[in-house]
Structure formats: structure tokens, C-alpha cells
Structure 1
């Protein structure tokens, strides 16, 4: 059974969307699901081009029906924290069109507590609409991550749960 977690929340004053989920899987397994392009494509965008999960690396996330979303890795402290800046579909990555997503992973016995914090909405054209959309997005996408990480993916390189 997949773990059920509270939905994402908006902090209007800090222009931040946050969600914390508990995943019945090791930090190594969750880290792989966040940073390996083949595994990311299993639960988040339909296509991922991000061959290196190291600071400064760039790539794209592609969601069905949208142009490529540019991505730049800002932090990679395995298996503790991973952060990237991402922008608008089809647009270059600029401060006025991007936000930063930061994942922190904490061990909780054999499980992982994952927190995602997305910031930078105050620079966007419509911060409130963007935060509402991403709150819904992180609620559904992290539910998919939980189901994926707690499931039995088959891959020779997959870390054991």
C-alpha cells in the first residue's frame, strides 16, 4: 500500500510552496528517483534530458502538451539535498521566468522523509497563480513519486529499498 501524505501548502508571504512526504524506501532509492533521468521520467515529466545531476549541469523536462522546460542543477549533496532551477516551457532560464526547487531527504528508520520547497515565485508575472498551480502539481507529482519509490521498479542499477 502506498503511503498517504498531506498535500502541498502555500506560504503567500514567503512566496513558497512546500510539501513533506514520508516514503517507505531508503534515501538512496529516493535520491535515485530524483536524480536519474530514466527514473525521473517514470514519475515526473514524460521525458527528461539531464545526464548529470551535478551543480551547473543543464537539461530539460518535457511534459506532454508543453515545450521543453529548461533545468539547471544548483545543488547535489547525495543523499541529503538536491536542488534545481527550472523555467517556463519554451523560454530561456532567467530570474523573471524561473523558480528553484529544493529537495531534502532525511532518514526515518528504513523510510525517507522528503521535503520539497519551491521558491522564487515573487519574481514571476503572476505569483499567486503560479503558486496555486505548483501546489497542485507537487501534491499530485509527489504522490506519484511515493507510489513509484515504494513500488518494485525493475532495473539492474536500482538501489534496494
Structure 2
């Protein structure tokens, strides 16, 4: 396997399996920590979802993902185009990467793992930059979900 084919990150979360699962798979919650305006949307396996990114500096970008699998309280995965942020480029012509979140019990909390794979299918001209930007992005997103889950829920 090519070195630049996959990014893997993990974080130990001090939350229940149910809380972690809902933060991943309830679109509204996912959007809150990931930085996407997903209020009122639902993740459905096999369907494509689009919503504006709310992340500072990327507000011009529409997040687009095709939900792959939702295995209750175990795995959530989707296909997307990594670092697809330049206006006027049709990223749909490219192969997407697969993002897989898995959760497992790891006392005293939940181990969340994210693996993004398929970078070797990205056009060479942007493969390295997409890999680098998403490597940094996943570092940040693991911190974001950790922060999100450590705050008391808003009722």
C-alpha cells in the first residue's frame, strides 16, 4: 500500500458510546463539531448529502458526501472529495476517498478511529496537497469532537 494512501487518527473520548455515536451520525450534531450547516438534515446510507461549510475561511465551499454505511454504534462511513475547496473545479470527475469512523469501548471511554483512504486515486496534481491538508484537518477534527462531547448538551 502506498504511504500516501491513507490517513488514520484516533482519540479516546470521555463519553458514552451512545453520545459518540450520535455526535457522528446525527447530521445536526456532526455539523456542529465538523463545521457544516446540517441542521434539519439526515444521514441515509446510499444517499448524497450537501450543505454549506461553516468553517472560517471555507464558507464558499459546499460539503458533499455520499453516505456509505451506518452500522449502529460501530461504523459510520462516507465518500467525499478531499480538500475540494477551489471554486470552478468539478471534483465529481475524480475518484472520492472513503472516510470510516469506528467506535469501540476502551475503558474509561470510547476509542474513536477515523481512517480516510483512497488518496492514491486522487489526480497526482493535487494528491499531496489533499493528503497534507486532510492530515491536518483530521488532527483538528479529532480535537473538535473531543471538545464537543466534553461540553454539557444544550437543551
Q: TM-score, normalised by structure 1?
A: 0.79
Question: Which residue, 116, 138, 146 being the options, matches 1:118?
Answer: 116
Write 1 or 2 for the structure with the bigger share of helix: 2
Q: Report the aligned-residue RMSD.
A: 2.3
**TM-superposition CA deviations, 1:4-31 (whole Å, max 9, x none):** xxxxxxx852510110100000111011
Question: Which residue, 63, 66, 69 being the options, matches 1:72?
Answer: 66
Unmatched tracts of structure 1, length 5 or more = 1-10, 156-161
Unmatched tracts of structure 2, length 5 or more = none
Q: How many angstroms apart in 2 are the aligned matches of 1:132 and 1:108?
A: 29
Q: How many residues align?
A: 145
Alignment of 1:3-152 (within 5 A): 13=3, 15-48=5-38, 51-63=41-53, 64-87=58-81, 88-89=84-85, 94=92, 96-125=94-123, 126-152=126-152
Q: How many angstroms apart in 2 are the aligned matches of 1:92 and 1:45?
A: 22
2:45–2:68 Cα contact (<8 Å) kept: yes
Q: Kindly tell me: are residues 93 and 106 of structure 1, through their superposed partners in 2, closer, same or farther at Cα, counting changes over 3 Å?
A: farther
